[in-house]
Amino acid sequence: MVSVPRGLWGSRVGFILAAAGSAIGLGNVWRFPTTVGRSGGAAFVLLYLGCVLLIGLPIMLAELAIGRATRRNPVGAFAALSGGGLWRWVGALGVVTGIGILSYYSVVAGWTIGYFLYDVGGTFGSVPSEEYVKQAFTALISNPTMALALHGVFMAATMVVVLGGVKGGIERAAKVLMPVLLAILLLLVLRSVTLPGASVGLEFYLKPDFSKVSFATVMEAMGQAFFSLSLGMGAMITYGSYLSEKSDLHTSALWVVSADTAIALLAGLAIFPALFTFPGLSPAEGPGLIFVVLPNVFDKIPGGLIFGAGFFLLLLIAALTSSISLLEVPVAYLIDERGWTRRRAVVVLGTLAFILGIPSALGHGAVGWLTSLPGIGVSFLDAMDTIFAKYSLTVGGLLLALFVGWRWGVEAALAEIAFARAPRVNGLMFRLLVRFLCPLAIAVILLQLTLSSLAG
Ligand code: TRP
Give the tens place of pLDDT for each residue, 130-167: 788 888 899 999 999 999 999 999 999 999 988 886 66
Ligand 1, atom 14, residue with closest C-alpha: 230
Q: Please tell me the total count of domains within the chain.
A: 1
pLDDT tens for each residue of 330-339: 999 999 999 9
Tens digit of each residue's pLDDT (9 = 90 or more) over 307-345:
788 889 889 989 998 999 999 999 999 999 999 999 999
Question: Using CB atoms within 10 A of its CB, is residue 299 exposed (0-12), middle (13-18) or buried (19+)?
Answer: middle
Model pLDDT, residue 120: 83
Q: Report the alpha-carbon distance of residue 211 to residue 62 in Å, rounded.
A: 34
Residue nearest to atom 4 of ligand 1 (CA): 27
Which residue's CA lies nearest to atom 2 of ligand 1? 23
Point out the ligand 1 atom lying closest to the alpha carbon of residue 236.
Answer: 12
Residue nearest ligand 1's atom 6 by CA: 230
* 232 Cα–ligand 1 center, Å: 10
Taking the centre of ligand 1 as the mean of its atom positions, its distance from the CA of residue 118, in whole angstroms, is 26
Q: Is residue 266 part of a domain?
A: yes
The pLDDT of residue 82 is 94
> Is the pLDDT higher at 217 or at 278?
217
Residue 6 lies in a domain: no
Give the number of the atom of ligand 1 that is nearest the alpha carbon of residue 229. 1
Contact yes or no for 191/301 (Cβ under 8 A) = yes
Nearest CA to ligand 1 atom 10: 230
Burial (Cβ within 10 Å: 0-12, 13-18, ≥19) of residue 85: exposed
CA–centroid distance, 11 to ligand 1, in Å, is: 22
3-state secondary structure of 237: helix
- Domain contains 354: yes
Instruction: Write down the pLDDT at residue 296.
Output: 83
- Choose one of 227, 238, 257 to mutate for the ligand 1 pocket test, by most ligand atoms within 8 angstroms of C-beta: 227
Calculate how far, in angstroms, residue 229's C-alpha sits from the geometric centre of ligand 1: 6
Whether 122 has a pLDDT exceeding 80, the answer reads no
Ligand 1 centroid – CA 122 distance (Å): 31
**What is the position in ligand 1's atom list of the atom closest to the CA of 389?**
13
- Greatest Cα pair distance, the chain, in angstroms, is 65
For residue 430, is it within any domain? Answer: no
Residue 420, pLDDT above cutoff 60: no
Atom from ligand 1 closest to the CA of residue 318: 15
CATH of the domain at 225: 1.10.4160.10
pLDDT at 105 over 70: yes
DSSP for 6-23 reads ----SSHHHHHHHHHHHH
- Residue 372 belongs to a domain: no
In a domain, 378, yes or no: no
Dihedral sign for Cα atoms in the order 404, 406, 412, 413? positive
Q: Indicate which residue's Cα is closest to atom 12 of ligand 1.
A: 230
Q: Cβ < 6 Å from ligand 1: which residues?
A: 22-23, 25-28, 101, 227-228, 230, 233, 235, 322, 325-326, 393
Percent of the chain with pLDDT over 70: 93
* Residue to probe by mutation, ligand 1, list 178, 230, 333, 387, most atoms within 8 Å of CB: 230
Q: What is the pLDDT of residue 3?
A: 42
63-90 pLDDT, tens digit each: 999 999 999 999 999 999 998 789 999 9
State residue 1's pLDDT score: 39
Q: What is the pLDDT of residue 268?
A: 95
Task: Tell whether 219 is covered by a domain.
Answer: yes
Alpha carbon distance 268, 203 (integer Å): 12
- When pLDDT is averaged across residues 120-126 and rounded to a whole number, the result is 74
**Structural element, H or E, at residue 104:** helix 88-121
| Closest ligand 1 atom to Cα of 226 | 13
Instruction: Give the atom of ligand 1 at the shortest distance from the alpha carbon of 322.
Output: 7
As a whole number, the mean pLDDT across the chain is 90
The pLDDT, as a whole number, for residue 299 is 82
Closest CA to 93 of 379, 317, 440, 393: 393
Q: What pLDDT does 177 receive?
A: 76
pLDDT of residue 255: 93
Pocket test for ligand 1, best of 161, 325, 329 (most atoms within 8 A of CB): 325
Q: For ligand 1, atom 7, name the residue with the nearest CA.
A: 322
Closest atom, ligand 1, to C-alpha of 260: 4
* In-domain check, residue 31: yes
Contacts of 77 (CB under 8 A, 6+ apart): 66, 67, 69, 70, 91, 234, 237, 241
Residues 419-445: what's their mean pLDDT?
A: 85
Q: How far is the CA of 197 from the centre of ligand 1 (A)?
A: 34
CA-closest residue to ligand 1 atom 8: 230
Q: pLDDT higher for 319 or 179?
A: 319
Indicate the pTM of the whole model: 0.93
Higher pLDDT, residue 239 or 123: 239
CA of 230 relative to ligand 1 center, distance in Å: 4
Instruction: Report whether pLDDT(36) > 80.
Output: yes
Q: What is the mean pLDDT of residues 404-433?
A: 85
Residue type for 176, please? Answer: V
Angstrom CA distances, 40 to 35, 54, 130, 272, 342, stand at: 9, 22, 22, 12, 44
Q: Which of 101, 158, 178 to mutate to test the pocket of ligand 1 (most atoms within 8 A of CB)?
A: 101
Domain that residue 290 falls in: 12-364
| pLDDT over 90 percentage in the chain | 64
Q: Which atom of ligand 1 is nearest to the CA of 329?
A: 12
**SS3 for 406?**
helix
- Closest ligand 1 atom, residue 27 Cα: 4
pLDDT of residue 267: 95
